[in-house]
Amino acid sequence: MTKKAVVVVGSLNMDLVASALRLPQKGETIFGESFATFPGGKGANQAVAAGKLGACVSMVGCIGCDSFADNLIASLKSNQVNTDFVRQVGGSTGTALIIVDDEGANTIVVVSGANAECKPRDVDRALEHFTDPGILLIQNEIPRETVEYSIRSAKEKGWIIVFNPAPARQIDSSLLPFVDIIIPNETEISLLTHSTVKTQEEVAAAAQKLLDSGVKNVIVTMGDKGAICCNEFGCQQVKPYRVTALDTTAAGDAYTGALATSLAEGQSLIESMDFAAAAAGLSVTKKGAQPSLPYRIEVEEFIRKQERVK
């Protein structure tokens, strides 16, 4: 089977994770139950998710000059991600400070560090390496200039653009016609479209605003309610798999990486969403970002054994 290349342009962070019975309120100090460090960053997480699932994936981004950088590169390489396009710069590697409660909910503060140095030239260096266009994944944890350049430049070269607009921030509307698939969650699509998004009908209405702006396909991820895909043919919901969540930290990244992997193998968008739902569902049953991302054999076995939410 011939696979398209998957190139991820994005962040590399070290996640500093504290577990607590509940999330603290503003100004409150609480006692935690455990602490651990995990390789993370939305870009690196999506690359590792794809690598573990068998994609031909390369990472584009920046790391600093510290021990975190070495650990992040080691994690990428051990999960079959090409790191030739990861550039080392001065200063600190990106970090994320994460608190996870006993129901799996989390709060996250990201310190960009070296991710702020990811430049358009890093994208050019990567894309020049490939003879045939593939799938480009990108998020919002690197400079806006680089996000916008990546989308325009890759699309002009014939790449399929998959944009995960997280963390949420406004998008230049002229960029949207270059996007083949945008994957916001409910909070992100609410911000992008200035819409109230509480019901499935409101999700569909907000998605239509993005379609009207030129996006080809809108996939709204809704946690334990699954995901909805909207395009010119209408809206279709893909139900989630039934799981008990332990840590939701990288669920969205698992979903996006799995979706790209399946699309790169030639599967349809709905088939790819189903595969992504299984990968994301499995990921929340484990702690940590990259350590929670499942391997292909795990996802296939999970699909065979698990039941869907009614």
CATH assignment at residue 268: 3.40.1190.20
Average of per-residue pLDDT across 288-299? 90
Local structure of 68: helix, strand or coil: helix
Residues 16 and 177: their CA atoms lie apart, in Å, by 37
Do the domain assignments include residue 144?
yes
H helices present in 41-178, as ranges: 42-52, 67-78, 120-127, 144-156
Of 112, 65, 36, nearest to 292 by C-alpha is 36
Enclosing domain of residue 163 = 5-22+34-305
Buried b (16+ CB within 10 A) or exposed e, 283-303: bbeebbbbbbbbeeebbeebb
Catalytic residue among 122, 180, 253, 274: 253
Do the domain assignments include residue 196?
yes
Known active-site residue 180: no
Do the domain assignments include residue 310?
no
Do the Cβ atoms of 44 and 59 come closer than 8 Å?
yes
| Residue 154 to residues 166, 251, 278, Cα–Cα distance (Å) | 19, 26, 29
Do the domain assignments include residue 201?
yes
Do the domain assignments include residue 75?
yes
pLDDT digits (tens, 9 = 90+) for 8-43: 999 999 999 999 999 999 999 999 999 999 899 999
> How deeply is 64 buried, as exposed, middle or buried, from its count of CB atoms within 10 A (0-12, 13-18, 19+)?
buried
pLDDT-derived band of residue 247, with 50, 70 and 90 as boundaries? confident
Do the domain assignments include residue 230?
yes
pLDDT digits (tens, 9 = 90+) for 179-202: 999 999 999 999 999 999 988 899
pLDDT at 107 over 90: no
Q: Could you tell me the pTM of the whole model? A: 0.92
pLDDT the model gives residue 86: 98
pLDDT digits (tens, 9 = 90+) for 145-192: 999 999 999 999 999 999 999 998 988 899 999 999 999 999 999 999
pLDDT at 307 over 70: no
Do the domain assignments include residue 29?
no
Give the total number of structural domains in the chain: 1
Do the domain assignments include residue 28?
no
pLDDT the model gives residue 246: 82
pLDDT digits (tens, 9 = 90+) for 205-222: 999 999 999 999 999 999
